[in-house]
Amino acid sequence: MNILILGSGGREHALAWKVAQSPVLDQLFIAPGNAGTKQHGTNIAIDITDARAVGDCIEDRTIELVIIGPEVPLVRGIVDELETRFPKLCIIGPHASGAQLEGSKAFSKEFMQRHNIPTASYQSFSLDQLQPGIEFIRAQSLPIVLKADGLAAGKGVLICSDHDTAIEEFEAMLNGKFGRASAQVVIESFLSGIEFSVFVLTDGRSYKLLPIAKDYKRIGEGDTGLNTGGMGSVSPVPFVDESLLAKVRERIIEPTIQGIQADGLKYRGFIFFGLINVDGDPMVIEYNCRMGDPETQSVLPRLRSDLVALCMATCQGTLPAQSIEIDERVAATIVLASGGYPGSYEKGKAIAKAEDHSQGMLFHAGTKMVDGELQTSGGRVLAVTSFGSDLESALIASRQKAAEISFEGKTFRADIGFDL
């Protein structure tokens, strides 16, 4: 079978690495891919938000399965367009209706409220509701969380420690601070606890749980500094025990799948539940309609089952009959970023010592081959994943490999997992 993966980050390299191990794979294509995905298939330079270009690629390469990595094409409705053109194609990724769970925070909050799924209390406001919004902020306890409704590349959430700042930011957001994404703003109460990431593969009726992970979003050690796409991850997560997981299934995953059905949303693909453990009770911070990055780089190495078989079962209505086998070892991922990231940074730096290592894998993100030389081409450059019999040994192996790889400006967090 020929398979196409859309995306170009570390998540997509991990997907390509996993799909390449499938016994049913003939040819793998990655669009646009990166220097790492080339080890497993053929990169295709197309704009993945252009449904016609993606469709032509599917036709030309006789693709039978498409896995969509990032949220932007999903939220823009690429699945609806591809399905119209290729009714028999297996596509992993929700239709536009289902992708709203990530594409609109107001939509996802209403969804959770409607289906009694635990989340922070909130109200949403648009520019014509500026005054009621300000009054609402004044009545809130601190800190106050402001969220741009739409996709804002991970930057649309502000946590304000006083009312005046919150009001100022609220006005700025409604007036276009995040463009159209903040034409509507969700104001919600602050939840205090420790976050973790839960992933399922669903056909919209049943689901399979993938390994649990935790990601580290801030650039600085000790979870300080600016938010990034994610600087590291670990799987499993020690505090997510059987009892917490049972609550996650009963209170969050199952009502979400039932809600998707009840509301007639079209969903076939991954759901990423961004959760927080508040005194033993899980609550939803956000939904994403895709896998996480860098969580995928810790989650997929622990999945022993064939990902392609799981994807095909999702499309064929046979997901309940599939079994999921998980590697008991711990996986720890450390991201190597360009100096300056998540602010401005230089590209085109030569990378040395970037080969797979004995205890694990090396996933590429912002890399490019230029005249036979591997160079940096983005903010997050590489992700090192290692296995260990425990968290500490997995982390030590990843730290060693992260220290060994070199490029000018290399930045990484040596403290991933510090809070576990």
Closest CB 370 distance from ligand GLY, rounded Å: 28
**Using CB under 6 A, which residues numbered 97 to 116 contact ligand GLY?**
none
Listed in order, strand segments (DSSP E) in 258-372 are 269-278, 281-288, 330-337, 360-364, 367-370
Q: Does 118 bind ligand AMP (CB under 6 A)?
A: no
Considering only 127, 130, 134, 157, the residue that binds ligand AMP (CB under 6 A) is 157
Q: Which two tokens stand for residue 200?
A: 């399922």
CB of 163 or CB of 217, closer to ligand AMP: 217
Considering only 254, 286, 356, 415, the residue that binds ligand AMP (CB under 6 A) is 286
Q: Which does 72 bind (CB under 5 to 8 A by kind): ligand GLY, ligand AMP, none?
A: none
Q: Which does 215 bind (CB under 5 to 8 A by kind): ligand AMP, ligand GLY, none?
A: ligand GLY
Q: Which two tokens stand for residue 133?
A: 């919004």
CB of 202 or CB of 288, closer to ligand GLY: 288
Q: Which does 337 bind (CB under 5 to 8 A by kind): ligand GLY, ligand AMP, none?
A: none
Q: Which does 288 bind (CB under 5 to 8 A by kind): ligand AMP, ligand GLY, none?
A: ligand GLY
Q: Does 215 bind ligand GLY (CB under 6 A)?
A: yes
Closest CB 95 distance from ligand GLY, rounded Å: 20
Q: Which two tokens stand for residue 95?
A: 């239709």
Phi-psi region of 351 (alpha: psi -120 to 50; beta: other; left: phi over 0): beta
Closest CB 274 distance from ligand GLY, rounded Å: 7
Sign of CA dihedral 85, 86, 91, 97: positive
DSSP summary character for residue 252:
I
Q: Does 309 bind ligand AMP (CB under 6 A)?
A: no
CB of 64 or CB of 295, closer to ligand GLY: 295
Q: Which two tokens stand for residue 392?
A: 């500490």
Q: Does 158 bind ligand AMP (CB under 6 A)?
A: no
Cβ-Cβ contacts under 8 Å for 358 (sequence gap 6 or more)? none
Q: Does 285 bind ligand AMP (CB under 6 A)?
A: yes
DSSP-derived pairing of the beta strands 63-68 and 2-7: parallel
Q: Does 293 bind ligand GLY (CB under 6 A)?
A: yes
Residue in 301, 317, 307 with CA at minimum distance from that of residue 25: 307
Beta bridge partners of 32: 7
Query: Dmax over Cα atoms in the chain, in whole Å?
Result: 60
The CA R_g of the chain, rounded to the nearest whole Å, is 21
Q: Does 382 bind ligand AMP (CB under 6 A)?
A: no
* Whole-number Å distance between alpha carbons of 216 and 220: 10
Q: Which helix (H) or strand (E) holds 267?
A: none
Q: Does 50 bind ligand AMP (CB under 6 A)?
A: no
Q: Does 230 bind ligand GLY (CB under 6 A)?
A: yes
Q: Which does 286 bind (CB under 5 to 8 A by kind): ligand AMP, ligand GLY, none?
A: ligand AMP
Considering only 69, 292, 366, 417, the residue that binds ligand GLY (CB under 6 A) is 292
**Using CB under 6 A, which residues numbered 178 to 197 contact ligand AMP?**
188, 190-191, 195
Q: Which strands, in side-by-side order, build the sheet including 157-160?
A: 122-126, 184-189, 144-148, 157-160
CB of 274 or CB of 339, closer to ligand AMP: 274
Beta bridge partners of 159: 145
Residues in touch with ligand GLY (CB under 6 A): 215, 230, 288, 292-293, 295
